[in-house]
Amino acid sequence: MNKKISFCGLDCAACPAYIARHADDPELRQKTAATWSQIYGADIKPEDIFCDGCTSEGTLLFGHCRVCKIRECGRARKLESCAHCPEYACGRLNEFFEMVPEARQVLDDIRKTLK
């Protein structure tokens, strides 16, 4: 599977909302909506499970991705990902890494290729 790395280091191509959108998979939408509703204590419906990925130019994004401050900053700076930022890793990103440490490794690996 190809990777589609978000600004913060997550792989959008591995996200069920992205997969369901691009595979046009109603069963995956239903399953993901039920799972995420339970995990996040939210009322997520299958029709909410659509996303083109964090770095896409489109407006088809899932929930939090629409209001994500990391995404907002990366887009404003016209970055490919936060790994390309001269201020890497900022406070906001470090807070995110506390929740998702594997994202730091992805961005650190990208940074190694930039030098």
| pTM to 2 decimal places | 0.83
The residues spanned by each domain of the chain are 12-114
What's residue 62's pLDDT?
Answer: 86
Q: Tokens representing 113?
A: 């290729």
pLDDT tens digits, one per residue of 4-58: 999 999 999 999 999 999 999 999 999 999 999 998 888 999 998 989 998 888 7
CA distance 111 to 21: 30
Look at residue 81 and tell me whether its pLDDT is greater than 60.
Answer: yes
Please report, as a single letter, which amino acid is at residue 112.
K
CA dist 102 and 22 (Å) reads: 24
Burial bucket for residue 1 (CB in 10 Å: 0-12, 13-18, 19+): exposed
Q: What percent of the chain has pLDDT over 70?
A: 99
How far from chain centre, in Å, is Cα 12? Answer: 5
């900053």: which residue's tokens?
73
CA distance 69 to 37: 22
Side chain identity at residue 74, one-letter code: G
